[in-house]
Amino acid sequence: MPRAMLVVAHPDDEVIAIGGRIRRFRWAHFVHVTDGAPLNQQDSRHQGFSTLDAYRSARRDEFRRALSECGLSRVSFDCLAFSDQEASLHLADLTRKIASLILQHSPEVVLTHPYEGGHPDHDACAFAVHQAIHQLVSRNIQPPLVAETAFYHLGPFGIETGCFLNGSKPKDEITYMLTSREQTQKQRLLRCFSTQRATLQYFSTARERFRLAPDYDFTTPPHCPPVFYDGYPWGMNSFRFCELAKEALAAMRFQREEVMGPR
């Protein structure tokens, strides 16, 4: 296995991405961008938690339980602790943190979310990883490859999970059909995240899909709106995300020019 870093939005995303084959990543560095706990407390109250801290701790414990279940309790791990549903509000800061972690851990490949409008935190991860790579290249630092795994997006009949947004060519993807043993393991790991049971029921354990990340234009929606999270009252929609991406790109460009001078 190459040296790998996983940059995902929430506790449980790593299991969706690589749960069937996660034991192969025992030397990887895992990064959660958010703590998995939205500040509006709708999720925490729905799950019966009286405080946000209690829900935040439960999400962290679920992740640790999953790692223990698959024998990876000592895996290298960071949580950047942005609030769930709010990573998009901190794109420039998130990019800097991801770039710093890449420099610290020197991965050969970074595995993250595609830019598909499934969840604003997913799109924020994609933005930050891609922009961190651009920063490294601008400093003449050899960057890692960026690969991504299929999560979910809006299809013509609702949510589509476990496949990439239409537009990628089949030859660009690698699909691993999981063995019965791998499927059983992934099912056990998903069950560790009891607070997310309602969402995780939509994900198949039959296969895991990957591809090298394409170039994205984060200043336009990933597909013709609405995107999936446009239908949720999370304080974020595809138009606002693109505006925040433009602002972050401009701010980072200005900071680079202050340090290096205009190019």
Domain ranges of the chain: 4-260
- pLDDT tier for residue 165 given thresholds of 50, 70 and 90: very high
> Which class in CATH covers the domain with range 4-260?
alpha beta
pLDDT at 262 over 80: no
- pLDDT tier for residue 102 given thresholds of 50, 70 and 90: very high
As to burial, measured by CB atoms within 10 angstroms (0-12 exposed, 13-18 middle, 19+ buried), residue 169 is exposed
pLDDT score, position 68: 96
pLDDT score, position 170: 59
Q: With residue 83 as reference, give the H or E element that holds it.
A: strand 76-84
- Condensed to tens digits (0 to 9), the pLDDT of residues 120-139 reads 999 999 999 999 999 999 99
| pTM for the whole structure | 0.95
Mean pLDDT value of segment 205-234: 96
User: For residue 65, which of 168, 157, 180, 194 has the smallest C-alpha distance?
Assistant: 194
CA distance 17 to 148: 9
Which residues, other chains included, contact 29 with Cβ-Cβ below 8 Å and sequence gap of 6+? 4, 5, 6, 76, 77, 78, 101, 105, 107
Q: Residue 1 in contact with residue 27, Cβ under 8 Å?
A: yes
For residue 259, give both structure tokens: 């340090």
CA distance 199 to 127: 24
Quote the mean pLDDT of the chain. Answer: 94
Mean pLDDT value of segment 148-172: 87
Please give the angle made by the CA atoms of 7, 192 and 77, to the nearest 5 degrees.
30
For residue 47, give both structure tokens: 């799950």
pLDDT score, position 166: 78
Look-up: residue for tokens 């409008």? 117
- Condensed to tens digits (0 to 9), the pLDDT of residues 173-189 reads 999 999 999 999 999 99
CA distance 54 to 44: 8
CA distance 248 to 240: 12
Mean pLDDT value of segment 84-112: 98
